[in-house]
Structure 1
Amino acid sequence: METEREPNTVEEPKAAYGLYSYADYLTWQFEEVVELIKGKIFKKAAAAPNRIHQKVSVKLVSRLYVFLEGKKCQVYDAPFDVRFPKGSKEDHKIHDVVQPDICVICDPEKLDDRGCIGAPDLIVEILSPGNSKTELKLKYELYESHGVREYWIIHPENQNVLIYTLINGKYVPSGLLTSGDVVESTAIEGFKLDLEEFFGDIE
């Protein structure tokens, strides 16, 4: 029986065995920014993120960059490929490639000229109107299964943050954090974010 197409997948060339790999990904010339999850193509929620999304991203990247300067961990923002290999690191055997809005990598061995191969320590996704529930669910499962230590979801319009912390291989949610709360990262020791102050000039 034919399965229903995922709501945010893009028109795509025919894949061998129905799955795409990072080797395929490197050959594409889509106008949209795309990601690869479980061998399927997904359109990035917003190829040109809105102003508030960009303001939150730039502000958080700046805070992380200053905090991490001189330390082992490094922060990167999109577009930046993160590949999640299962066993083999060969391009044609990697079926998960995403571009998180922000990520922090503390193991320099995971970095190469093409981005990151393996799980970042922290991933931040900033929601846009185009984000689908399917995309969020698949990314949650992907990050949890590959051992991303901390996963932040920021809702810029509502000015709140949800944090998932990996404990014994499973994500534990923080509960919704908003103005008046101070976010303290467990993956990036010592990094804190006063949400009232952080969101204060974002409008």
Structure 2
Amino acid sequence: MALAYSEHYTVRDYALWEGDWELIHGAPYAMAPSPSISHQRIEKGFLFQFDLSLKKCTNCEVLAEIDWQSSDDTVVRPDVLIACNIEGEKLTKTPELIVEIVSPTSAKRDELTKFELYQQEGVKFYILAYPDEKMAKVYRLHEGRFIKEADYSNERFDFKIRECDLSIDFSQIWRD
């Protein structure tokens, strides 16, 4: 029986493409041209709170919309991430925390494909933020698997990344 042929691309191919793409295990995924205003507001809320929490932390920083190359055939662009001990201008180390702001067009990729990728790569915390529901799902990596901490709408979540204490007040994320 003949196997179906599927394309497999590398970071070298990805570097030549026009437009905004992600590359996951050699498969290309087109990104939306520009995030919505509500998406930007939520992203800004995470950035502001994480940046405030990390003021005393000299090893970690919060970044938005930056490419993370995890292998020769995988480059993703999380909405928000926290990375520690960054060297150079390209992010190749596994982030400690990733936030994806879920839209109807990104839901399958964020909830399944990226969930598995981030789990496999050892991301310590994964937050899926749902603007329409004004709710976020927080996952913590435990023994190689993401375990759901809880769903958060108006609560505070306190946690530690390496030696840095962080806090996020979800009531401050959702703007009317």
The two structures share one fold, judged by TM-score above 0.5:
yes
SS in 1 for 2:150: coil
Q: CA deviation at 1:157?
A: 1.7
* Structure 2 counterparts to residues 114-193 of structure 1, below 5 A: 115-179=90-154, 181-187=155-161, 189-193=164-168
Question: Which one has a larger percent strand, Structure 1 or Structure 2?
Answer: 2
Q: CA deviation at 1:175?
A: 2.6
Alignment of 1:37 with 2:24, yes or no, is yes
Q: CA deviation at 1:136?
A: 2.8
Query: What is the identity, as a one-letter code, of the residue corresponding to 2:55?
Result: E
Unaligned runs of 5+ in 2: none
Query: What is the identity, as a one-letter code, of the residue corresponding to 2:84?
Result: C
| Distance of 2:144 and 2:36 partners within structure 1 | 34
Is the Cα–Cα contact under 8 Å of residues 67 and 91 in structure 2 kept in the other structure? yes
Query: In structure 1, which of residues 35, 49, 55 is the aligned counterpart of residue 35 of structure 2?
Result: 49
What's the CA shift string for 1:17-75, capped at 9, x where partnerless?
Answer: 72111111111113xx210001000112x321111110011121122223223521011
| Distance of 1:186 and 1:69 partners within structure 2 | 14
State the partner residue of 1:82: 68
Question: Deviating runs (4+, > 4 A) in structure 1?
Answer: none
What's the CA shift string for 1:159-178, capped at 9, x where partnerless?
Answer: 11101111111110123222
The TM-score, its normalising length taken from structure 2, stands at 0.88
What's the CA shift string for 1:81-134, capped at 9, x where partnerless?
Answer: 10112xxxxxxxx111000000111122xx422x31031001110112311424
Unaligned runs of 5+ in 1: 4-14, 86-93
Is the Cα–Cα contact under 8 Å of residues 74 and 104 in structure 1 kept in the other structure? yes
Identity of aligned residues (%): 24
Query: In structure 2, which of residues 79, 84, 94 is the aligned counterpart of residue 101 of structure 1?
Result: 79
| Distance of 1:153 and 1:174 partners within structure 2 | 12
| Distance of 2:69 and 2:11 partners within structure 1 | 8
Query: What is the identity, as a one-letter code, of the residue corresponding to 2:78?
Result: P
Q: CA deviation at 1:153?
A: 0.5
Query: What is the identity, as a one-letter code, of the residue corresponding to 1:99?
Result: R
Is the Cα–Cα contact under 8 Å of residues 49 and 128 in structure 1 kept in the other structure? no
Aligned residues: 173
| Distance of 1:164 and 1:192 partners within structure 2 | 15
Q: CA deviation at 1:2?
A: 7.4
Q: Say what the alpha-carbon RMSD is for the aligned residues.
A: 2.1
The TM-score, its normalising length taken from structure 1, stands at 0.77
| Distance of 1:100 and 1:161 partners within structure 2 | 15
